[in-house]
Amino acid sequence: MRLLVSGGGTGGHIYPALALIERLKQVEPDTEVLYVGTTRGLENKIVPDAGIKLETMKMQGFKRSLSLENVKTVYLFLNSVHRAKKIIRDFKPDVVLGTGGYVSGAVLYAAAKHHVPTVIHEQNSVVGITNKFLSRYVDQIAIAFEAARAQFPAEKVTMVGNPRAQQVAAQADSDFSWSTYGLKDDVPTLMIFGGSQGAPKINQTVVDALPEFNRRHYQVLFATGQKRYDHIKQELADVKIGDNVKVVPYIKDMPAKMPKVAALVSRAGATTIAEVTALGVPTILIPSPYVTANHQVKNAQALVRKNAAVMITEDHLDARTLLLQADKIMENNELRGEMATAAKQLGKPDAADHLIKVLHQAIDEHR
């Protein structure tokens, strides 16, 4: 298969695509892939590091208020459509997959106009503006949350889950040891992170709660985010940190470590949801309030309704509420087991395989 993938800006658009590509190359080794992203997105590092050829375009989003910048946005979109048509003519893909972000709008629109088979993958429970726009042009739509189904033309929709789930599930037997961080393998570990860049409110809450975490019988691994690590270390300069607590800037190779986590505190992004449901990890979800249509709250609610997670919104987040929920889960093995089972029942451990079937279905429709 010759697959052209487009999605950019955030890891939530990139990692599912990479997971799908990894699985596709396992089952169809002769697959050739070209990734089209933005000039400034995370894909500029992540995609080449994965050994995948990358083409980039300059894109920007629409401003919600009247602005001359929107004129520039339209110009960039039209220019990118023109560029995308040339890339498509040169690469000659069998199918084009969009995973979100403004760049995928231009690429999939161009592909549809060229009568190339097209598929979009919506990772969230609330459909993004780009995928809403594309839904009238593409052949197939794959979703990760049932809540997204009603927001698309029904005849095009297939529930597949998030390919990241299958990638993470494949590492469920990881031999990772907590001794890497100076922690113990026979003590339950609570992992706390707010994403690769960190989350200021989560960070401050953990700093405030840290004297109490020192007293707990469970362990805490707290990732501040790379760019916020120095600031947090300054705040903790006069705070004694117990042997059961480790503060790090970033957690590399998350899929290898997640199977060893007793519980997780994190945002409610689509990738995180895919990971915790694939592995069955009890989670305290703190949705980001800075996302379109508050979609992380809706992502979290899908788990909360099934008793697979608890949610603390940022306006209710402080040291007291965090400690209350952390203790409730970490000090109750039976509850953790029930939450883990509920989370795993929501997982889609073969999501990548299902998405591959949708890609082939789109190709077959054009034959």
pLDDT one-digit tens code per residue, 288-322: 998 877 889 999 999 999 999 999 999 999 999 99
Question: Cβ–Cβ contacts within 10 Å for residue 121, how many?
Answer: 30
10 is known to lie in a ligand binding site = yes
Mean pLDDT computed over 36-49: 89
Domain co-membership, 340 together with 353:
no
Q: According to the model, what pLDDT value does residue 195 have?
A: 77
Q: According to the model, what pLDDT value does residue 320 have?
A: 98
Supply the range of the domain harboring residue 23. 2-162+349-365
**Do the domain assignments include residue 9?**
yes
Report the CATH number that the domain containing residue 73 is assigned in CATH: 3.40.50.2000
**Do the domain assignments include residue 36?**
yes
**Do the domain assignments include residue 170?**
no
44 is known to lie in a ligand binding site = no
Domain co-membership, 35 together with 118:
yes
Domain co-membership, 189 together with 336:
yes
Q: According to the model, what pLDDT value does residue 63 have?
A: 47
356 is known to lie in a ligand binding site = no
202 is known to lie in a ligand binding site = no
Distance of CA 204 to the CA centre of its chain: 23
pLDDT one-digit tens code per residue, 171-216: 888 889 999 999 999 999 999 998 767 789 999 999 999 999 999 9
**Do the domain assignments include residue 172?**
no
Q: According to the model, what pLDDT value does residue 232 have?
A: 94
Domain co-membership, 67 together with 133:
yes
Domain co-membership, 357 together with 334:
no
98 is known to lie in a ligand binding site = no
196 is known to lie in a ligand binding site = yes
pLDDT one-digit tens code per residue, 62-85: 445 545 554 566 667 778 888 999
Contacts of 37 (CB under 8 A, 6+ apart): 6, 7, 8, 14, 43, 44, 47, 54, 55, 56, 57, 101, 103
Model pTM score: 0.85
- Token pair 């006069």: residue: 238
Domain co-membership, 315 together with 357:
no
Domain co-membership, 304 together with 357:
no
87 is known to lie in a ligand binding site = no
Of 317 and 271, which is predicted with more confidence? 317
The total number of structural domains that make up the chain: 2
**Do the domain assignments include residue 105?**
yes
**Do the domain assignments include residue 262?**
yes
Mean pLDDT computed over 238-261: 91
